Structures are given as structure tokens and as C-alpha cells.
Structure 1
Amino acid sequence: MGKKIEYSQIKKAPIGESFVTFCVVRSKEVKYKQNGQPYLVLELGDQSGRLKTRLWNDIDSNSAETPVGGIVKIQAVAEAVNGRKELKIQRLRAASAEDKISADALLPQTAQDVAQLRQMFDAHRQSITNTHLLDLLSAVFRDEVFAKAYFRSPGGKLWHHNYLSGMLEHVVKLLNFADLMNIHYPEIDIDLLKTAIICHDLGKVREYSLNGYIDFSTEGRLLGNGAIGYGIIDGHIRDLPEFPAGLRQQLLHLVLSHNGKQHGAPVEPMTLEAMVLQHLILLDAHTNAILRIRENDVLPDQDWSKYIPLLERFIYAGKQA
């Protein structure tokens, strides 16, 4: 066994080295060996991501120590199993009050400076000149509780920007992209596009729960962020009697169509701004996801990621020419 080290990020733990850390139990499943004996499969997570582990013995006691959403203290070794990193647990116990570890401390967070992101967000918002859209955004962010949740929300559960303030990071990058697009295509209604960028994922504020790990809330699973966001935006528009009906339709179309039907949107993008928004979202989301895969999901001695079903391909992570 390798030398024991203190290590707080399970995804970055070197293969073969033992470490001690805290994790949250993201999921738990009982499976069975060929001889019929049960074992536990856990998915553990911390700030760096998630890894699976298998507990072969003491099923009842280990299950009692590992409720989903609970925090555990582990001593483990990272190992490669079929091209993927997993954890081999040496010791495990439920965290206690004496450990002074909170679920929030285990949530992944953006590596960006959140204060700087907020400044960039505010500058983009202030660049909008359409008074109706400005009134709408003022109404949305007047609720301080909602605004705080918006700026803290992850951008996704697993695929892209899946960490605290990930949505803010995603939105700011999209706003930056929008300015670049507008230089080359001045025909774009930049005020409409920027407002849609700010509003397109509003529903994620209520779509996700943040109890030690990012998961879907009941509302999020039942309705999805598109429907939730539509309701939030339309509710505020209805409180603005002078908001033009045509502008309402244009904005709500961008919100409803931004993922495209292939990703569950009720309608396809059918305006210039809607099509631009969809492509900018894909560009930033896929770039963010691929960088994460290259950094965290490729073993040190490998040049390729595991197969990525969402992209229907492997990702090369070897040395650049």
C-alpha cells in the first residue's frame, strides 16, 4: 500500500496512494455477485467531482453508515478499473458533529472570481437600452433571495458548469460571445439576445437542490427548467402592463427553444436571435464539458477519455502536436 496522504479532492487523488477525506454519498445501490451475495455500490462526491466504490462486506452496517445525502469520512486508495478511476475503501464511517464538516463545503465551486463575474454581468445588463427589457430584468432581480440563488446556482447537474456559480460563469461567457457576434452581425437585436441569455436558465434556480451534491428538486424533475423559467419570466411580464406583446413572444420563444427539440425543447429556434443563442450555448457548454473531461476523467497514462455517449465519441487528451 502506498504512503497515506491527506487529500481533499477525490478526482485528483494519485492512483495507488492512500488518503483520508470527507465525501457526500450521492447514490447507493445494492447489487449481487454471481453467487448471490449482495454488495454495495456507492457514488461519492466532493468539490472535485464523483467516483464510484464497491463495498463487498458488512452490507447492513455499511448501508446504515451511508445514507444518500449523508457525509462520510473515508480512508481510500484511488485505483484504475477498466480505464476509469474508482475508490477502494479501506475505512469508512459516518461523519459526526465533531468533524465540523458541512454539506456546502463538499459542493464543487467555480474556479472563477465570482465578484469579477458579477461585475461583468452587471456591465452587460447595464448595456441594454430597451426600457421594457430593462424593466423586466429589474423586476426579476429585485427579489434579493432569488438574485442570491441565481448567482449561486450551478449551470448543470453533471454535463457542463456543474458547480456553484456555474450558471453565472456560463451566462457571462454567453454575454461576451453575444458582443462578438454583434460586431460581425449588427442585424442581431443585441438587447433581446442579452436579455434572453440572462433569462434562458432562470428555472435552474429552482430546478436543482444543493444538499451536499447537485441533484434535481422535485419541481425540477417534474417540470424542467424551461417550464419553470417560462413561468417566472411571464409572471413578471404580466406585471408590466406596457410590455409589448410582440416582444414578449420573441423573448419567451428564445427561452423555450434554446435547447432545441433534440434536447427536449418544446419548439425549435425559429428567429435569428434564437438560433444564435442555441449555438452559443452549445459552444460554451461543450467546451466547458470537454475541458472538465480532459482534466478529471482521463487516467494519467491514457491519451483518450472513456466513450462519451452525449457526444457519441471519445475525447483526445494526449499531448498537442
Structure 2
Amino acid sequence: MNFLTIASLKNEAGEQALAAAVDAELQSRSQRQTKTGKPYLVLTFADATGSFSLNAWSDAPLFDAASSLPDGTVMRLDAEWTQNTYGVNATNVAWERLTGDALEVFYAGDAATAEKQRRDWDTITGLCASVNDPRLHALADHFLKEFGPRFRRAAAARKNHHARRGGLIEHVSQMMRTADAVCTAYPRLNRDLLLVGVLFHDCGKLWENQYRERGFTQDYSLHGEMLGHIPLGIELVNKLWRDVADSPAGRGWLPLEPATETVRLHLLHLIASHHGEYQFGSPALPRTPEAIALHHIDNLDAKLEMMADVYANSNELAEGIYEKQFPLPANLVEPLPSFEPLPAVAAAPPRGELF
């Protein structure tokens, strides 16, 4: 049997039927109707690598089975898979519920994804350890110790980019690497502030885009729905700041320059302004060099992740031209490969000389 992750399925499925089995957790189902009034279910499945939706028509056996299964059920779907503009399709579907060792293997997740996220966590902790400002250093350390497991489970979004368990770790790690590099090109930037701003810019997503301790279903919460990740992030940083300021480490902050309250305010501004515009949910516009840098680093990483998904999963309209996917503005074109110099050729010896 050909076993695939969801990411591999999206990468390999096309117009021709692909016979394969996919282990996936049932995230949700919603009942819809066709134009003729025929009911069907939209089933959303997920694993460690991503998610997809599948239509179960009322005259298909999967419709009755899925109607009675609770959310969170882990299933093995053995089918013939195709993929078009509207997403993944399956025919001749056979399924079973995973139990025992097979279920534990599923919850362990994809090994390659787990290894990437382990390296990303090491990047985050290493760059946080390099922060010189004792206030920002202590704040980052307190956050990683207090909320590390929850941070490592969260996604960066529900869709579009890094929308998977651990996706927030991947997003923040890449942004921190980029921020570190940008600071070498623009040394007037406050590196400590920018790195810690990256760490906390989406920290409200620990509630808005959170996963359970076990499984790949992204939950909803009242805090996430009613406040959103920016107000939640501001509230969290203020709470953590008070914790550290009241600790023994905070007793020596008073004589430090720039003033401690100014440092806190600048960090909060990075969280408040990182979406860049009011229309995109920022309660404040970027007003400092670090805020401008953070906004564009965030946008760059999100857009490049979306583009990578399009290249891997979108239909080719013509050779090297990929179908547009929201929210990118246009069809994508195959990127230009990097130039690779030809191997050096040894010069011929002068005529008459053999050695």
C-alpha cells in the first residue's frame, strides 16, 4: 500500500488517479446542499503536514460513516486521489479507524516535519540567548519556559501560511534568522528589540491558533474569537513583563538606559503595528525603524511560504505558469534557477611539454 502524508498527497495528486492511503484526523464537518437540494458533507482532515477538505456526497458510503464519527477521529483513507482547481478529490474510498500502535505512530507526526521544527526551536532559543538587553533577555526566557510547550503546538494561521501544528515555530524561527541578517545590513536597528519583537509578534496565536496536547485539530477559543491575537499578545507581554519586573532579576532595572518603561512601550508597539495597516487589523501604524522592519519581515516570510505551497500544489496553466491562489495577487511563474558555474577545466600543457 502506498502511504502518503497530506503534504505529499497534495504534491503528487493531479488529473490522473493516484492510488494511495492517507492517515488523517477528522477536524470538522459541515453539511451543505447542491443547487438541486442534494445534501453533502464537507469534511476537513489534517495531519502533521497540513490539511485538506473532501466532499462526501449523500449517496456515498463515506457520507453515512462521517455523519456519525466524532471530530478528532483518526482514519486511514485508502482511495484513488485526484486534484484540480477546487482541491483534492477521492473515489473508491475505503476507510478504517486507527487504533493501537498505528494511532500512536500517527500522533508522533511526520518525522521530517518534527526534525525541522526541532531545529527551528533551537534557532529561536539560540537567538534569544544572544539578546544583550537584560530586560528583553529575561522576558524572552520567561516566555519560553512558561509557554514553550504551548508555543510549539500553535499554528501561524488557520490557512494560507504555516497553517499546521508547530507552524508558528517555523514562522518565528525563519523571521528571527531574517531579522538577524537584516540587522547586519542595517546596523542602526536595535537588534535586541527586533529579535524579541519577532518572538512576541504573534504570541496571541497561542490562543487564537492552538492545538490540543495530542492531535492535529486546531481548536477555537472565546479569547481568540473575541479579541484576536494582537490584543492577546499585548496582554500577555504586559503580564510577563510584570512577572519579570517583580522578580529578583528586575530589581536592577531602574538605572538602565534606555529607560525600562520606554523599552516595554517599544516592544508593545511592534506587536500592535506588525500588520502594517489599519485595514489589516493593526491598531497602530509602524512608527519606528524596528516596526517597519518587523512588518516587512513578517509579510515576506508569509508570502514566500504561500508561494512555495503554490509551486508544490497548484495546477500548471502552461509550462512554468501556476494558477493563482488567494491571497497572492496573480498567477505565479516558475522561479529562475540560481546560476551554477561550470566546473573548472584543467589548462592544456604547453605544446612540447608532457608533464
- TM bucket by the smaller chain? 0.7 to 0.9
Deviation at 1:32, TM superposition (A): 2.7
Q: What per-residue deviation string (whole Å, max 9, x for no partner) do you get for residues 63-105 of structure 1?
A: 4344433322322211244x34422242344515357325735
Deviation at 1:222, TM superposition (A): 2.2
Assess if the C-alpha contact under 8 Å between 1:26 and 1:68 holds in 2.
yes
Distance 1:101 1:140 in 2: 32
Partner-residue secondary structure (3-state), 1:151: helix
1:252 equivalent to 2:268? Answer yes
Partner-residue secondary structure (3-state), 1:160: coil
Relative to structure 1, is the Cα distance of residues 278 and 32 closer, same or farther in structure 2, using a 3 angstrom cutoff? same
What is the one-letter code of the residue matched to 2:125? D
Relative to structure 1, is the Cα distance of residues 69 and 298 closer, same or farther in structure 2, using a 3 angstrom cutoff? farther
Relative to structure 1, is the Cα distance of residues 171 and 87 closer, same or farther in structure 2, using a 3 angstrom cutoff? same
Relative to structure 1, is the Cα distance of residues 28 and 119 closer, same or farther in structure 2, using a 3 angstrom cutoff? closer
Counterpart selection for 2:280 from 255, 263, 281: 263
What is aligned with 1:235?
Answer: 239
Q: What per-residue deviation string (whole Å, max 9, x for no partner) do you get for residues 205-226 of structure 1?
A: 2222324233443322222121
Distance 1:108 1:163 in 2: 14
Relative to structure 1, is the Cα distance of residues 40 and 206 closer, same or farther in structure 2, using a 3 angstrom cutoff? closer
Deviation at 1:48, TM superposition (A): 4.0
Deviation at 1:109, TM superposition (A): 7.3
1:7 equivalent to 2:10? Answer no
What is aligned with 2:125?
Answer: 122
Q: What per-residue deviation string (whole Å, max 9, x for no partner) do you get for residues 285-314 of structure 1?
A: 111121122112336987444432322322
> Matched residues, percent identical?
23
Relative to structure 1, is the Cα distance of residues 183 and 76 closer, same or farther in structure 2, using a 3 angstrom cutoff? same
Deviation at 1:273, TM superposition (A): 0.7
What is aligned with 1:214?
Answer: 218
Deviation at 1:5, TM superposition (A): 3.6
Q: Under a length normalisation based on structure 1, what TM-score does the superposition of the two structures give? A: 0.84
Assess if the C-alpha contact under 8 Å between 1:43 and 1:53 holds in 2.
yes
Counterpart selection for 2:291 from 266, 274, 279: 274
What is aligned with 1:17?
Answer: 18
Count of residue correspondences: 315
What is the one-letter code of the residue matched to 2:287? M
Distance 2:31 2:319 in 1: 31
Partner-residue secondary structure (3-state), 2:161: coil
Distance 2:37 2:313 in 1: 34
Q: What per-residue deviation string (whole Å, max 9, x for no partner) do you get for residues 229-259 of structure 1?
A: 1111101222315472111111101111111
Distance 1:301 1:76 in 2: 28
Worse overlay, 175-184 or 207-216: 207-216
What is the one-letter code of the residue matched to 1:91? V
1:189 equivalent to 2:190? Answer yes
What is aligned with 1:139?
Answer: 142
Mind listing any 5+ residue stretches in structure 1 that lack a counterpart?
A: none
What is aligned with 1:73?
Answer: 76
1:297 equivalent to 2:314? Answer yes
1:46 equivalent to 2:43? Answer no
Deviation at 1:266, TM superposition (A): 1.0
What is the one-letter code of the residue matched to 1:263? F
Distance 2:114 2:304 in 1: 15
Relative to structure 1, is the Cα distance of residues 125 and 48 closer, same or farther in structure 2, using a 3 angstrom cutoff? closer
Distance 1:299 1:108 in 2: 29
Distance 1:70 1:300 in 2: 37
1:87 equivalent to 2:92? Answer no
Partner-residue secondary structure (3-state), 1:214: coil
Q: Cα RMSD over matched residues?
A: 3.0
Q: Under a length normalisation based on structure 2, what TM-score does the superposition of the two structures give? A: 0.77
What is the one-letter code of the residue matched to 1:164? R
1:310 equivalent to 2:333? Answer no
Assess if the C-alpha contact under 8 Å between 1:107 and 1:214 holds in 2.
no
Relative to structure 1, is the Cα distance of residues 148 and 212 closer, same or farther in structure 2, using a 3 angstrom cutoff? closer
What is aligned with 2:167?
Answer: 166
What is the one-letter code of the residue matched to 1:220? G
What is the one-letter code of the residue matched to 1:194? L
Relative to structure 1, is the Cα distance of residues 251 and 46 closer, same or farther in structure 2, using a 3 angstrom cutoff? same
Assess if the C-alpha contact under 8 Å between 2:33 and 2:39 holds in 1.
yes
Assess if the C-alpha contact under 8 Å between 1:304 and 1:318 holds in 2.
no
Distance 1:107 1:209 in 2: 19
Relative to structure 1, is the Cα distance of residues 222 and 94 closer, same or farther in structure 2, using a 3 angstrom cutoff? farther
